[in-house]
């Protein structure tokens, strides 16, 4: 048992890197996710259905395709990648920051969907009442809407974090599998499966991934249930 629980430095590095990548993927996409969810829930404009389809595209498109598109756009020779490198000195391809971008893109639809459902359940009469008392739109959102949709936001953050943590296809296509730099938990598991005699290490990291995923799903279900109860006034 002691041997089974003894993580190697490489395994610990992969776990820490995965947590780091997933955290920044979740945090970086949060402001955009809230904005897009509000736009899809409350906006009435031409192209709304197209935007909705575009947001959810990573859910149905093969992750390898998503990673290749990111490589075309944000690679060193890509239009956005070259612009970022020349203007800000930011390089995403074959860096952990690129892995975070890939995780953010893959987890973004789950975040937006969770937040949007929470916004849809808000009683608009509460916002209208605050408006009649003289509050502007920003103040109404901060004091009325935001507290009501907070469980949905937290659920979306957790789901986005979990999806980024488990991302494989887009990550390996965009940033490759570089130990200590882009080798996240799924990539480390894949690498170990290709090495004879590393079954114990593979199982160890697999159990870690399963435990984190289950914890994230349980937490998101609690948040979603809390949001539903609040919407029903319970």
pLDDT in tens, 26-35: 999 999 999 9
Return the closest-CA partner of residue 22 out of 219, 214, 212, 173: 212
The pLDDT of 17-43, averaged and rounded, is 91
Q: What is the mean pLDDT of the chain?
A: 85
Q: 96-120 vs 146-165: helix axis angle to the nearest 10?
A: 140
Does residue 3 or residue 66 have the better pLDDT? 66
Instruction: State the pLDDT at residue 232.
Output: 57
The pLDDT of 106-128, averaged and rounded, is 86
Domain boundaries, the chain: 9-231
Contact 131, 145 (CB under 8 A): no
Measure the CA–CA gap between 24 and 8, rounded to whole angstroms.
25
Largest Cα span, the chain: 70
Percent of the chain with pLDDT over 70: 92
Is CATH 2.60.260.20 what the domain over 9-231 is classified as, yes or no? no
The pLDDT of 104-133, averaged and rounded, is 84
Measure the CA–CA gap between 26 and 109, rounded to whole angstroms.
12
Instruction: State the pLDDT at residue 111.
Output: 93
Measure the CA–CA gap between 7 and 83, rounded to whole angstroms.
40
Instruction: State the pLDDT at residue 109.
Output: 94
Instruction: State the pLDDT at residue 1.
Output: 47
| Residue 2 pLDDT level (bands cut at 50, 70, 90) | very low
List the structure tokens of 50: 């197209």
Ranking 2-16, 55-69, 82-96, 114-128 by mean pLDDT, the lowest is 2-16
Distances (CA, A) of 82 to 71, 86, 172, 175, 210: 11, 6, 20, 16, 37
Say yes or no to pLDDT of 154 above 80.
yes
| Residue 87 pLDDT level (bands cut at 50, 70, 90) | confident
Instruction: State the pLDDT at residue 104.
Output: 95
């Amino acid at each position: 048992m002691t041997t089974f629980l003894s993580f190697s430095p490489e395994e610990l590095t992969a776990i820490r890197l995965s947590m780091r990548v997933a955290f920044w993927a979740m945090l970086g996409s949060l402001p955009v996710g809230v904005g897009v969810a509000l736009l899809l829930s409350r906006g009435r404009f031409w192209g709304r259905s197209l935007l909705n389809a575009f947001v959810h595209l990573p859910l149905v498109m093969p992750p390898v395709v998503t990673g290749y598109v990111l490589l075309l756009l944000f690679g060193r020779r890509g239009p956005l990648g070259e612009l970022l490198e020349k203007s800000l000195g930011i390089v995403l391809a074959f860096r952990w920051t690129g892995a975070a971008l890939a995780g953010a893109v893959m987890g973004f639809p789950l975040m937006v969907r969770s937040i949007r459902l929470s916004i849809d359940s808000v009683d608009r009469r509460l916002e209208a009442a605050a408006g009649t008392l003289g509050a502007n739109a920003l103040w109404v959102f901060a004091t009325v809407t935001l507290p009501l949709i907070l469980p949905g936001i937290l659920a979306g953050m957790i789901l986005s974090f979990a999806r980024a943590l488990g991302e494989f296809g887009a990550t390996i296509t965009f940033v490759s599998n570089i130990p200590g730099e882009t080798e996240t938990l799924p990539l480390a598991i894949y690498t170990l499966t290709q090495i004879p005699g590393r079954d114990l290490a593979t199982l160890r990291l697999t159990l870690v991934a399963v435990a984190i995923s289950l914890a994230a799903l349980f937490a998101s279900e609690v948040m979603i249930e809390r949001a539903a109860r609040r919407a029903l006034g319970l």
